[in-house]
Structure formats: structure tokens, C-alpha cells
Amino acid sequence: MDKPTSSRSDLPFHGAAVLPSVTVDSYNLEVRDGDGFIGDKASKGAFWEIVEKWRQPLKKTGEDPFGDKSTDNLKKQDLLDELQTGDPEAAGVVQSAVEEFSQQFATVISRFLKTKDWRDTEVIVVGGGFRGSRIGELVIGRTLLLLKAEDVNVDLEMIHNDPDEAGLIGAAHLLPAWMLKGHDTMLAVDIGGTNIRVGTVQLNLKKSPDLMKSNVANSEIWCHAEAETNRTEAVAHLVRMLEQQIHWNQKEKFALAPVIGIGCPGIIREDGSIDRGGQNLPGNWESRGFHLPGAIKAGIPEIGGSETMIVMHNDAVVQGLSELPRMQERERWAVLTIGTGLGNARFTNREVKKRK
């Protein structure tokens, strides 16, 4: 990752290496082996490829528990049902897939920990859509045991908030506390390779100044992958979603902060353009002349009579930041998000509280 040279933290800027409470040591880390990027071995696609592999022996004998249903159309709940109530062979397919994927995930983590940017990581939080299922939880639990068996000294935890909501809640930590003071809510955007989620984050600063009690009060999701849209139409749709959230806040009489936090795939330049990593988004989002924050501000120049402030960072960084209130006694920690790809980020807390 190309780290921004600026170190200012008084005002937020896009893709910042220094945030109000943490330093972003690394994100979008790309580690290669002989087969390509090692992170690809710990993606949702890699898991389903393993499921297909273990179905093959049963398909040949006509005993596939999933019948003619293609692996592409299976859901994680289908696997869980077979694991819990299926016959031994069916359960064995799922168990074998969980085991093999866990071994690959443990290998990926070990490789990351050997890099300079991830050295001395104390705990890794696992998020992403894959985590939001029992099968994902089983993978994480088994991976932790494999790491311990290899004397890899790192804790592995599951992200506490729902992964979809974590990608919105974390946006509040991109901003210094004074920008949110006196406000009830802020707007947040989580852009993924398949969906765009827009929501209102209820800050609850009176209950928890560290944002521990923040939550998503309202949200909307749009599956742009099914819409066959282009970049211009996608941005216009995103602006309309934000406008609907503004109207909802007005209706609920919330004091909405004039800020929008965005999590987006790829390496984010300081000017708000995407260096690389946005290939799954509709249209060319990696053009140096395209700046999503500027495009949104053109559509929403003001919120509540004040100029709109927009800050954007990598989506794994933002999702990881949702765990910040729970990481106050750690110095170095990281996040891995298992989704279309393997998102990653490593943080160092700027202040560390003494453990009780």
C-alpha cells in the first residue's frame, strides 16, 4: 500500500494513514505466492470451490446430498442443515470443506504475520459477510485452534457488530470527536463489489463518548451487481439513497451531522480517487479523474444548512474501526474481512489503556 505522506490529524482526509485514534499501518496488503495473491485462498469463492471439490466423489456415485443443485446456488444455511441433520456422508462433505478452508485461512494469517507491516499483531478481528453465519464461525474457531497448534501467538476474534452494520458504524471513527459533538447521527456508506449500503449511524455519544454504543438506526441496501448499471447511474442512485436518509433524519428530528463517511474497496488516494482495487465496481472507478467524494458533494452540497464534509477510506479499514472501542487495551491489532476478496488492515492505537 502506498501510504500518504501527510500526518495531519486535525481534519480528516481520504485514505489517511493517521486517524484520530489509530495509525493505519497497512491496508489492502497484497502477499503473493506461486499461485498469485495468497489472500484469494481465504475468500468466499475459495470456500465454495472447496465445497464443490468435496461434492465430486458423491456426485460420481449419485449420492450427492445436494442433488442437482449447483454449488453456485447453495447457501451457507444449506451446509449447516446437512452438518446438523444430514447423513454422515453429507455432514462429512461440510466438515471437510470447513477443515480445508480453515487450514488455508490459517496459512494466510501466518503469512500476513510474517510481513513487516503485520509484525507483533496481538489480535485479529474477522468480519465480512462470511463471518455472519454459523459456518463462518466454525471456520474461525477451527482456524484459531490450528494457529495455536502451530504456536502462532495471535488472538482471533469475531467482529461484534453485524458485519453489514460494522461497515457503517466504523465510519464515525474516521472523524475527530469535535466534528460529531452535539449531533445525534451521521450518514455512512459501505460500498462493496456486489452491494452498496447506505445508513444512519446513531452515535449515542452521551451513553458512550468512545462510540461503543453507536448503532445503525436506519439503512438501505442496493444490489448494483444485479442492476447492470454504469458508474454515473450508480453514483446518482447512491446520492438518492443518501437524500432518503437525510429526509428520514428530518422526520425523526435527529440532529444530523453534516458529514458522510464512506468505506470503499481499493487503495484510496488523499484526493479521493481510487488507485487500484475497484475492479468489481460498476464502470471505471479507478480513473484518476473520478472522485467519488466530489461527485457526492456535488449532489449533496449541504446537510442541515452546513457544508457537507465527506471522508472516504478503504472498506476493510472502516469495518475494522467499528471494533476500536473494544481494542483500547491492545496496541497492535488487525482486521480480515472475508467476502468477494479478503479485505485486510492493521492498526496501531495511538493511546493504549492499561489492562485491568
Catalogue all structural domains in the chain, each as residue range(s) with its CATH number: 33-158 (no CATH), 171-322 (3.30.420.40)
Per-residue pLDDT tens digits for 18-73: 999 999 999 999 888 877 788 889 999 999 999 999 999 988 888 888 888 999 99
Coil/strand/helix, residue 228: coil
Does pLDDT of 132 surpass 80? Answer: no
Element (H, E) at 218: strand 215-222
Does pLDDT of 1 surpass 60? Answer: no
Question: What pLDDT is attached to residue 7?
Answer: 42
Question: What pLDDT is attached to residue 22?
Answer: 95
Q: What angle in degrees, to the nearest 10, is found between the helix axes of 88-113 and 44-60?
A: 150
What grid cell was written down for 339? Answer: 467476502
Distance CA 256, CA 249 (A): 7
Whether pTM exceeds 0.95 = no
